[in-house]
Structure 1
C-alpha cells in the first residue's frame, strides 16, 4: 500500500506546473500543457497580459511545456497552499486565458467531445484546426480542441469563406460553398432546411414581368439560378425577373 501511495505522488512531485492542473496532461514524466491550453487569443493584448500575469520563471505556458502559471492566473499571492480562487481565475479567463494557459476552460473550448472520436482529441494541433481535411471532422468529434464548442458541429472547411460572403450566391460556386463554406453560407445540415428560401415564381396571374437587369440570365437559368435555393427570390427578381418568371 505504501508503494502504491508513493507511486501516485510521483506525477505531482516531478511536475513544474502546480496548483491548477487544468488544461494539462501527464506525459509520463511531468504535467505539460495541451494544445488547447493556448489555442485561444487573449482578449487584451499579449503584452498587457504578460504585465498582469508575469511568468514566475520568464517562460509562459505553451503546448508541450511545463512552465508554471503566474499565481494571479488562478489564486492570490497570499493563498497557502495555492488553492484555486474563483474570482482570480474568472478574471484571468476573461482577459488573458492564453497567457495563463487556460484556453481549454473558456466557453469556446469547454465542452464534451464525442465518446469515440475519429482522432485523438488531446493531440490535435493548431494546423489541424485550420486544415481543410480535418476542420469539419474536429467540429463534429472534438469541438473542444479547436474552440468549436459554440459552432453546433458545423464550421467552414476553408477558413476564409467569410472574407467575401458573396461567394454564397455566385453562380457556378454552388458545389464549392456547399462543401467548404457551410457555416458562412448557412448550409449546415441541421440548418439548411430553415435557411432555404422558396422560389417566388409566377402562378399564372402575372401579365408582365420586370425586365432582366443582367444580360447573363439565360446562362444563369441554365445553371439553376431560377430554382436553386442558394439564391433568394429577391435576388432572382432583381436580376432575372423575366427569365425566371417572377412577378
Structure 2
C-alpha cells in the first residue's frame, strides 16, 4: 500500500512539474517558471465543439500562465517524434484553443501598424504616444471598448483583431456562378473545391488544413467513413492506410514484429482488406 501511494505521488509530481519543451508556440519565458503560455494562446474559440476537441486531444490543456505540455497530438503524429506540420495545421484549423494555438490563427496573423500621430482613447485624458509599442498592450486593453477600435487599427495582430479573410475566397473559374448545379455533382468535387469555392460554399475548405486532415492519423479513418469524397477515398471501399507512407517500403508488410501495426495502419498497402466494409459513398 505504501509503495502504491509513493508511485502515485511520483506520478503526480511528474505531471505537475511538466514544462513546455517541444513546442513553444504562443508561450513566453519567465525566469521563475520557465516557458508559460501567454493569453494569446487561448484567446479564441475552437472551430469544432470543445467536447470533440477534448476527445481528439486528451490531457495537458494550455491555459494562460500555465506550463503543462500541450497534448502531443496537437503537433505530432508520434509520441516521440518532432513537430509534424500536418498535425499542427489540423490542430490550428479546428481546435486552436484546446491546443493553445490561438496566436497562430488568422485572427492573430496580420501586420501591426504604427500611428503617425497621437490619439486619445475614449474616457481617457492620456494620449497614445506616436508609434504605439504593441508588445506592451495587455489583454484587458485589447478587450476594452475604449481601446478596441484604436488597437484594431494599430495592434491588430497583438490583440487578435485581424480582419476576416472572407474576401480572399473567390471562384477561380468565372463561369461557376452560371452553373451552380456543379456544386452537387460528385464527379466534379475536386474541380469545385479548387475552382468554385465561393459559388459552392467551399470557403471553409482551406487546401492546407483539409489535406492535412485527410492524412492525419487522428482523422483519416473517420473521414474515410464519413467524408470519403473530400479526401478522395470513394474508390477504396472504406479500406485505407491509417497512416501515410506505408507504400514507401512494402517490406513492412511481412516484417516480424510489425504485423499488429500493419493490420491496423497499413491495411490497403499490405492487402489486409479481407473483411468486407460498407461502401461509404453509397448512402451517406
State TM-score, norm by structure 2: 0.43
The structure that is helix-richer by fraction is 2
Greater C-alpha Rg: 1
